[in-house]
Amino acid sequence: MKILVIAPTPFFADRGTHIRILEEALALEKLGYEIQIATYHVGRNILEEVKTSIDVRRIHRWLFWYRKLEAGPDWQKIILDLMLIRKVFSLARKYKPDIIHGHIHEGVIIGWLVQKILFWRKIKLVADFHGSLTKEMLSHDYLRGGLLKIIFRFTEKVIDNLGDYAITSSWENSEEIKTLRKDKKVQTILDGVNLDYYQNLPSKIEAKKEMELPEGKIIATYTGALVMNKGIQYLLEAIPLVLQKNSNIFFVIAGFPIEEAEKFIKNNHLENSVRLINPLNYFDLPPILNASDIGIDPKDSSVKQASGKILQYMAAGLPVVCFDRKNNRDYLGNGAQYAPEISVDGLADAILKIANNPESISQKSAINKERVQKFDWKNTAKSIAEIYKIIYT
């Protein structure tokens, strides 16, 4: 079966949306599917990172100056998406896919347009939603309300109803879309983790030495995008509060864009207690997390997104500090130290509570090592394959 994946983003970059797109495709390829990915002109070549036969096709570089890799809206994406429509239409005509798998709302609308134009081909469409379009734009401070917000919210509701089947990356998003979709064909397909990346790593002591991290200190690590809708501001503001009460904690913050985090660390004189790592290569995550003691995910539920970084933490055997969200509970169970409230103080309290309890770190580490086994991308791919069978037969 041929699958045409639409990735309206600068694929591949080292962030959650791209990791989901890549790992889903790799896992589906292992099940025997033939995968082609249509994406923007900019992004890293995955063939340099992994062994795969996935065919990545890019739009023309007419917007040669566009190099943005980080998340967030940009008016130039309208032009890129129009070019992507043309690319997907061309690929669908020549490649003759059985299923179009559209990622995020832009990918879904592009897939729907091509599906309708080539209606006689009877191509099926899977809508893969990674969160709420409107709420994500609000989180990036792009929409402030008024008529534009109403238009985007209406557009999102329309797109949420497209496709022969919808899948989401979080329980919160599924519940919201179920109230909107007339056919109720929605399934939560949680993010996964490639457990092979975490095999044959050195001991934690050796890993810390290799990264030149301070001996004897508890290493608390955040990896991912350093933008507001990932909750990074909660973490940055919590760090001074934590260090006031426990100076034996050392923070590692790895991701991009680095400028705001760098400024905060400098202005608050935290250089001796925080290591900033930038750029962060997705394939460098295992050694970084292997050298850590605690993983931190400060994302709240405002944009209805899942948090794939939690699974990376679990695969590395880290207890996780996070907010008490349904999706986090489904991943972690008792493997997390949940903040008592969604706030800076709540996050700081949770970090301190687990850092001050070595026995709890050990217990939650063991829980997460066991629980993560069921979140292997192989299982995710099998669930997606079942949906393909449902809509194709």
Domain 195-375 in the same topology as domain 2-192+376-392: yes
Superfamily of 195-375 according to CATH: Glycogen Phosphorylase B; (3.40.50.2000)
Band of pLDDT at residue 42, cut at 50, 70 and 90: very high
What percent of the chain shows pLDDT beyond 70? 95
Using the predicted structure, report yes or no on whether residue 140 has a pLDDT greater than 60. no
Any idea where the domains of the chain sit in the sequence? 2-192+376-392, 195-375
pLDDT attached to residue 316: 97
Using the predicted structure, report yes or no on whether residue 365 has a pLDDT greater than 80. yes
Greatest C-alpha distance within the chain:
67
CA geometry: angle 126, 130, 131, nearest 5 deg: 125
| pLDDT, tens digit, 9 for 90 and up, residues 113-137 | 999 999 999 999 999 998 887 676 6
pLDDT attached to residue 307: 73
Instruction: Identify the residue with better confidence: 170 or 84.
Output: 84
- Top-ranked range on mean pLDDT: pick from 150-154, 199-203, 255-259: 199-203
Using the predicted structure, report yes or no on whether residue 303 has a pLDDT greater than 60. no
Q: What is the CATH code for 2-192+376-392?
A: 3.40.50.2000
**What is the residue whose two structure tokens read 């134009």?**
117
Distance CA 100, CA 356 (A): 50
